[in-house]
Structure 1
Amino acid sequence: MSTMTLRLRLLTAAAAIALTAPVAAPSSVLAAGFALKEQSVSGQGTAYAGVTAGGNGDASAMFYNPATMGLVSGTQFVQTASGILVKSKVEDARSTRAARLGGTAIAGNSSPGDIAQDAIIPAGYFVYSINDDLKVGLSANGPWGLVTDYGDNWIGRYHGIRSDLKTYNFTPTVSYRINPMITLGGGVQIQYAKAKLSQASDFGASRLGRPGALDVTSDVTGDDWGWGFTLGALIEPVKGTRVGLAYRSAVKHRLTGNISFTGLPAALAPLLPTQSANADLTTPDIASIGLYHEVNDRWAVMADVQWTNWSRFKELRVNIANPALSSLTEEHWKDTWYYALGTSYKVTDDLTLRGGVAFDKGSVDVDYRTPRIPEQNRYWLSVGAGYKVTESLHVDAAYSHVFIPKTSIALTDDLTGPEAGRGNLSANYKSSIDIIGLQARLSF
């Protein structure tokens, strides 16, 4: 078998594996907003410090900066799997109707327990070197997602019951080293998004004049394909010191599907038939800068700063075929910053140890925080290790604990505005996240 035939077969096989990578549903929010940072286990070991500059040393860095493919020699395939153990427990929840409706307590479950779901988030990468300067690659990721589920009978059901977003991102990428100092890269994001939103409405209050007499639950589902791009540059002014610059564009979606209703007596069911629905979703654009510096042949230090344009997310609007049923939730999110510092140490030529810390700023103030995404600032502490098993096989493992301060929501209903009739709702959340990652790298 010729070398070219072997490489083509490896390319085909690796591409097929990468395309099946994001098969598990992303779990509850793991970074600011509904971003999922868990796309590289070697990068996780330093809390993602230096990934924009290729500090993790493998093809998984291409998710953060496509120009880092220029660091890969030959052909490389990387497969990651991150196990996410999420706890988000609701405490001290209280809900009452608007004062003009009597201000009575809304009946239901005030202690829904853990609203998050554990999950495994995989990612796959493939890089093929056409020559020393020109590389092509393919990545498959789930970069955005969340799941929160309170159960149908919780006291805040008029604000939301279940929120479920999944994305699947496929990015063909190319990089080119224009001189020994500068490498440029870019890729096209091909993104599939799917969402489900569940919520109850107080049909008794709005139609029967008897608050709490009858609840109707609505389920909105929709999906869409969208596209965007990634751009990056890798600058190495001196050997062992690299600066990475990267930009990941927004991706616009119009999620199209339908809305269905449950809970109505048979005689009233014709009032709310299943009908078409849609909602706009735009994933935010991201700009980042990373630094990697080798102090000596054993020690390296690294840093990353990332800006995410969450201010795009001003509202959650669901448009229904019957306009009277359309809904709007005001969000008013803010742009966020992620700061990470990390280090790595080569114990031997085969074993590398890593560590890192990070601060991930929350994207929404308490005035607009909703039970769908009760997010807050996050503090990362990560450790990891990489081991060269053979000349071709390298494995990585990492563990992170994400500390989350106590979070609260405080929503007021005065029967005006888009959320009229949903009731007053307050609750506290006690949350934490543990992440265990494994990664395998094959090089040829």
Structure 2
Amino acid sequence: MPKNTPKAYLLAAAAAAVVSAPLPGMASGYLLKEQSASGQGTSFAGVTANAMGDATALFFNPAALGAVNGNEAVGVLSGIFPSAKTTNAVGTRAARLGGGRISGTSNSDDIGVDAALPSAYFAYTVSPDVKVGLAVTAPWGLSTDYPENWVGRYHGIHSSLQTLNITPTVSYKLLPDLTVAGGIQFQYAKARLSQAVDFGSILASTGAAVLPGSRDGMGEVKGSDWGFGATAGLLYEPAKGTRFGLSYRSSISHELEGDAKFEGVPAVPAMRASFANSFVKAKVTTPDIIGFGAYHEVTSDFAVMADVQWTNWSRFKELRIRYSNPLRTDSLTEEQWDDAWFFALGAAYKVNEKLTLRAGVAYDQTPVQDQYRTPRIPDGDRYWLSVGAGYQLTDNIRTDIGYTHVFANTTKVNLSDNLTGADAFRGNLSAEYKASVDIIALQTKISF
């Protein structure tokens, strides 16, 4: 039996799902920007300069505290409704196994998974120059599900990533027009992945009288970890109604630990030993993010804003898996992601003292190179179109709503299987992806 059987590749794909869970129509890679309803309304234009004027900007720039008046608590709930369809998918087995077609469905109605994404913020004024804040967010992840009988099932069925990020922040007004700030990130990551395993093809490759595809099994991997990082930023206000922000969110390294479990393993001693349930580790690192934002009040009722964000996705060069089964060496999967940019422009109009209307557009670049795209990460460039509104219900309570429709470029997956490398025994696969997403965010701010 070949040295690198699908177990190694299943584990590699599991860690890949952790660091790059497919998010059709979401922010590029596996970043979740949806942390503010007031920011959602402008496609997050100006968030680094706190164009919203509330504590939700803490997610984008800790120095945003400088533009928060008094004390406030903010709760946000974003509903994310992706639509991602696989069309014209064709799977065939490696030529050395006869090259026959892989049975199953070629078109998936929707692999996206609807999700509710909560976040919470707190800002408190210690003195005119010192403020403290707390952000509780979920900056990375989401889920996708393919039918268990789709033709690419050996490449992946379920992928999910959940994160929890707790960031206490302190800001200081260094000069009358300049606020600096920093924070510490405490981040928990949890992931799960499943895929089919073609035990029939593995046995056939050894010369056994077994047909490829005749003995499908299932593999599942779960893992979790706590990691730590930092945030830093500044907010410059050269004139009343004009602000510029610069922020940095550090990378966070996770040493994910968990278990690999398999079902349907044939009763062959060597196979049972190779696919025994085992403990697994994978070191993964989230990217650094640098953001720059601008906000300017053209009149007392009308403001324009912009944001530029650079994400250091090129950290994701490879994926290396270590596992306790002594029959396996490290599994290495090449990813070679590129750094990516996000550009947003927006505007806000104050209808009266209680009601504000917002709109914005954005371009979101994918980090995935065409030759490395997989069914687990069918990522493509995206275009955002957003509207929103804020209303002052009482002197102390304000509510905001934001809506975005994201258009995603059509992407293609083309993978080859020659019984070696990362796709060994998964089969050749070609597929086309069409995706979009609708996002509705609600927010309530209580000032005190």
TM-score for the superposition, normalised by structure 1 = 0.91
Maintained 8 Å contact 1:27/1:84: no
Which of residues 135, 139, 143 in structure 1 aligns to 2:139? 143
One-letter code aligned to 2:129: D
Matches of 2:105 and 2:284, distance apart in 1: 31
Paired position in structure 2 for 1:390: 394
Return closer, same or farther for 1:324/1:150 CA change in 2, 3 Å cut-off.
farther
Return closer, same or farther for 1:392/1:371 CA change in 2, 3 Å cut-off.
same
**Seq. identity, %:** 55
Once the two structures are TM-superposed, the CA of residue 317 in structure 1 deviates from its matched residue by 3.4
Return closer, same or farther for 1:271/1:301 CA change in 2, 3 Å cut-off.
closer
Taking the TM superposition and a 5 Å limit, the aligned residue runs for 1:291-330 are 291-322=294-325, 324-325=327-328, 327-330=331-334
One-letter code aligned to 2:241: G
SS in 2 for 1:55: coil
Paired position in structure 1 for 2:3: none
Structure 1, unmatched stretches of 5+, are 1-24
Is 2:407 aligned against 1:406? no
Return closer, same or farther for 1:292/1:59 CA change in 2, 3 Å cut-off.
same
Paired position in structure 2 for 1:352: 356
Is 2:129 aligned against 1:129? no
Is 2:176 aligned against 1:180? yes
Return closer, same or farther for 1:135/1:167 CA change in 2, 3 Å cut-off.
same
> Relative contact order, CA 8 A, sep 6+: which one is greater?
2
One-letter code aligned to 2:220: D
Matches of 1:82 and 1:344, distance apart in 2: 20
Maintained 8 Å contact 1:29/1:147: no
Which of residues 422, 439, 444 in structure 1 aligns to 2:443? 439
Maintained 8 Å contact 1:328/1:419: no
Paired position in structure 2 for 1:62: 58
- 1:265-317 Cα offsets, whole Å, 9 max, x none, are 46665653221011222111100100001111011100000000111112333
Paired position in structure 1 for 2:265: 264
One-letter code aligned to 1:297: S
Maintained 8 Å contact 2:379/2:411: yes
Taking the TM superposition and a 5 Å limit, the aligned residue runs for 1:33-182 are 33-182=29-178
SS in 2 for 1:353: strand
Once the two structures are TM-superposed, the CA of residue 412 in structure 1 deviates from its matched residue by 1.5
Matches of 1:69 and 1:27, distance apart in 2: 30
Maintained 8 Å contact 1:148/1:163: yes
Maintained 8 Å contact 2:22/2:30: no
Once the two structures are TM-superposed, the CA of residue 29 in structure 1 deviates from its matched residue by 6.0
Once the two structures are TM-superposed, the CA of residue 332 in structure 1 deviates from its matched residue by 1.4
Maintained 8 Å contact 1:51/1:61: yes
Maintained 8 Å contact 1:379/1:402: yes
Return closer, same or farther for 1:291/1:374 CA change in 2, 3 Å cut-off.
same
- 1:226-285 Cα offsets, whole Å, 9 max, x none, are 000000000111221111000000000011011000112466656532210112221111
Taking the TM superposition and a 5 Å limit, the aligned residue runs for 1:229-308 are 229-265=230-266, 269=272, 272-308=275-311
SS in 1 for 2:435: strand
Return closer, same or farther for 1:380/1:35 CA change in 2, 3 Å cut-off.
same
Is 2:380 aligned against 1:379? no
One-letter code aligned to 1:368: Y
SS in 2 for 1:163: strand
Return closer, same or farther for 1:93/1:363 CA change in 2, 3 Å cut-off.
same
Return closer, same or farther for 1:85/1:368 CA change in 2, 3 Å cut-off.
same
Matches of 2:268 and 2:109, distance apart in 1: 35
SS in 1 for 2:154: coil
One-letter code aligned to 1:234: L
Matches of 2:67 and 2:22, distance apart in 1: 29
Once the two structures are TM-superposed, the CA of residue 218 in structure 1 deviates from its matched residue by 1.3
Q: For structure 1, which segment, 208-217 or 243-252, has the greater mean C-alpha deviation from structure 2 after superposition?
A: 208-217
Once the two structures are TM-superposed, the CA of residue 323 in structure 1 deviates from its matched residue by 5.1
Maintained 8 Å contact 2:23/2:377: no
- 1:207-239 Cα offsets, whole Å, 9 max, x none, are 344422322321111100000000000011122
TM-score for the superposition, normalised by structure 2 = 0.90
Maintained 8 Å contact 1:181/1:235: yes
- 1:166-205 Cα offsets, whole Å, 9 max, x none, are 1100001110111111000110000000011212222222
Matches of 1:385 and 1:409, distance apart in 2: 39
Once the two structures are TM-superposed, the CA of residue 346 in structure 1 deviates from its matched residue by 0.5
Once the two structures are TM-superposed, the CA of residue 431 in structure 1 deviates from its matched residue by 0.9
Matches of 2:317 and 2:160, distance apart in 1: 19
SS in 1 for 2:149: coil
